[in-house]
Structure 1
Amino acid sequence: MVTLKEKFAYPGPYRPIYRKWVKTARKAIWWLMLWELFGTVAGLVIFGISQPNLYRTDMWRIGWDNRLNSNPNIVLYAYANYESLPKIALVWTRTFTDFNVAISVLSLFMLLAKLTAWIMRVWFPILACFINLSMTTLYLVSLYGNIGPDFTDPRYPAPVAWYLRYGCEMAKPYKAYKSCQIAQSAVFISAYMSTIYLIGLGLSIHAMLPNKSIDCPRKSDDDDDDDNVSHHSSPDWEMGNMKSGGVVTSTPFTPFTPRTQAFNTLDHNSSVKPEAGRYA
């Protein structure tokens, strides 16, 4: 009688490291790398031209003039009054601009490394889980910073940057309309790449789950091995085994030359014995 434990037991060993991808995941990864390439190139362009300060201070000042975020001069006021520097919102800092450039370059490196590892068949799901989780975390931080929450001035709290709430019409009098659009594009790039890496993380986690088609040995593999063995066995070998009673014998191969034929003829003549009484 089959017990409940035996009925629901998982057959076959679970391989966490050298693990294969399922067929649907392999196709999805190819398409995902293509879309990842588009986002990486766009990120390199948008984040690259934003460095060092294409729109950061301008957007900050426009928002202050309309009382939609903190004052860009708070740092100067702190220096003038010998006060400690206030905590500036992440979206207005130079560090955040450099951070976006760094992760866009890192994304390009990871894409090239992933493509190489995929071709070399060493892009295992456990490695993909670690890489996708790391890149997802970095781009989620980038998305949070690009959204632009600014609570430095309690009088004018801004949960979202003003150019995401009201558009770029307020930037036209300042001749910063294109810069405002680039700032909006940075938010889209961060959200796009976060989605790409989240999908990749989901595929890698799904590949790490127990799967009978991957973990269990397939019968077709055993059949293929048997076919290969029978294919390489020759009829002469089998007939030789039958004649020798099942004992495997091996006959050394002697190369044939004209001198070999002459020596074989001499050996044959010397081995012939004279008949008894012929010369009596």
Structure 2
Amino acid sequence: MAYRILRRPWRAKKPLYWGMVPELAGIIPLLVLFGVQQPDAFRTLFWRIGFENKLNSNPNMILYAYANHQPLPTIPFVWSQTLTSYNVAISIVALFILLAKMIATIMQVFYPLFGTIVGLCMTALFTVSVYGQAGPDYADSRYPSPVAWYIRYGCGIAEPYNAGKSCMMAKGTFAVTVYMLSVFVAQSAFAIWAMLPNKELDMMEDSDDDDDYHGPKDKGVAVEMQPTPPNPQVPFTPRTQAFHALERKLPFRHS
């Protein structure tokens, strides 16, 4: 019995199959929500709303830096174009990964090792997205913001700016992102569980290899050579030869 890293069977197949359903149910909304926010549907507006309510830094900090010939400040990740593009990218990557997993599962080559690697990578990617959407803003020491205002508070702050629906969309996007993060965490845990040593699975794996690489003799099946029966031949006599010669000489009769 040897521990296999690559070709390990899954401990259960149904969670592997059905686990792709909630994954697909979260990817489709994220593709739409992240795509709508590209390139700047309401990011700068939310930044300005937060500043006017003394909840985060000033979105005009870059203009002030240019006007005063000062070094450009670092834009908080939550209000940056980088986060918006990043979210669109990971939603596309997640869809591609899901399609690849479906194909690999059908072809029976999606092993727990691959599931562990994919699950941990997607968990890391969506952790960054969750952190970015709810990320801190300490660019202005007067108005430190540990969490974005549209997550800490209700969307009533955005109503005077006619941004109530956009605020609800941002909160919904954050909720779906957290949901996807939980899905990938669960998938990673399931794959890691399948990677743990298991005597029954390891013995099953060894027996499968024995069946593949050993012939019938190793399985205890005796193969015996059966003698080939001789082909029966028609006995040859002088009378038989004369009969065939006479038959060739007879004229063909029409009925």
Residues 160 and 253 from structure 1, CA distance in 2 versus in 1: closer, same or farther, beyond 3 angstroms? farther
1:14 aligns with 2:3: yes
In the TM superposition, what is the alpha-carbon distance from 1:249 to its structure 2 partner?
3.5
2:16 aligns to what?
29
Measured in 1, the distance between the counterparts of 2:230 and 2:89 equals 68
Measured in 1, the distance between the counterparts of 2:206 and 2:229 equals 39
1:42 aligns with 2:29: yes
Paired amino acid for 1:153: D
Paired amino acid for 2:236: L
1:250 aligns with 2:237: no
Q: 1:108 aligns with which of 91, 95, 103?
A: 95
Residues 176 and 217 from structure 1, CA distance in 2 versus in 1: closer, same or farther, beyond 3 angstroms? closer
In the TM superposition, what is the alpha-carbon distance from 1:250 to its structure 2 partner?
2.9
TM-score normalised to structure 1 length: 0.77
2:234 aligns to what?
264
What CA deviation, in whole Å up to 9, does each residue of 1:155-174 have, x standing for no partner? 10000111111110111110
1:191 aligns with 2:161: no
Residues 15 and 80 from structure 1, CA distance in 2 versus in 1: closer, same or farther, beyond 3 angstroms? same
Task: Map 1:184-223 to 2 at 5 A.
Answer: 184-217=171-204
Paired amino acid for 1:266: F
Q: SS where residue 216 of structure 1 aligns?
A: helix
Measured in 1, the distance between the counterparts of 2:234 and 2:64 equals 112
Matched residues, number: 233
1:96 aligns with 2:73: no
Measured in 2, the distance between the counterparts of 1:138 and 1:101 equals 12
Q: 1:134 aligns with which of 121, 133, 144?
A: 121
2:8–2:205 contact (8 Å) kept in structure 1: no
Measured in 2, the distance between the counterparts of 1:253 and 1:21 equals 55
Q: 2:43 aligns with which of 56, 75, 83?
A: 56
Measured in 2, the distance between the counterparts of 1:143 and 1:192 equals 10
Paired amino acid for 2:99: L
Q: 2:149 aligns with which of 162, 173, 190?
A: 162
2:30–2:91 contact (8 Å) kept in structure 1: yes
Paired amino acid for 1:207: A
1:69 aligns with 2:56: yes
Q: 1:174 aligns with which of 161, 167, 177?
A: 161
List gaps (5 residues or longer) in structure 1.
1-11, 242-247, 255-260, 271-280
Paired amino acid for 1:96: L
Residues 169 and 156 from structure 1, CA distance in 2 versus in 1: closer, same or farther, beyond 3 angstroms? same
Q: SS where residue 37 of structure 1 aligns?
A: helix
Segment drifting more, 140-149 vs 181-190? 181-190
Residues 42 and 170 from structure 1, CA distance in 2 versus in 1: closer, same or farther, beyond 3 angstroms? same
In the TM superposition, what is the alpha-carbon distance from 1:29 to its structure 2 partner?
1.6
Measured in 1, the distance between the counterparts of 2:69 and 2:56 equals 23
Q: SS where residue 173 of structure 1 aligns?
A: helix
1:143 aligns with 2:113: no
Measured in 1, the distance between the counterparts of 2:64 and 2:230 equals 98
List gaps (5 residues or longer) in structure 2.
241-255
Measured in 1, the distance between the counterparts of 2:196 and 2:32 equals 37
Paired amino acid for 1:194: L
Paired amino acid for 1:14: Y
What CA deviation, in whole Å up to 9, does each residue of 1:135-173 have, x standing for no partner? 100000000001131111011000011111111011111
Measured in 2, the distance between the counterparts of 1:128 and 1:253 equals 61
Moved over 3 A (4+): 217-222
Q: SS where residue 159 of structure 1 aligns?
A: coil
2:27–2:95 contact (8 Å) kept in structure 1: yes
TM-score normalised to structure 2 length: 0.84
Q: SS where residue 236 of structure 2 aligns?
A: helix
Residues 249 and 160 from structure 1, CA distance in 2 versus in 1: closer, same or farther, beyond 3 angstroms? same
Q: SS where residue 265 of structure 1 aligns?
A: coil
CA RMSD of aligned residues (A): 2.8
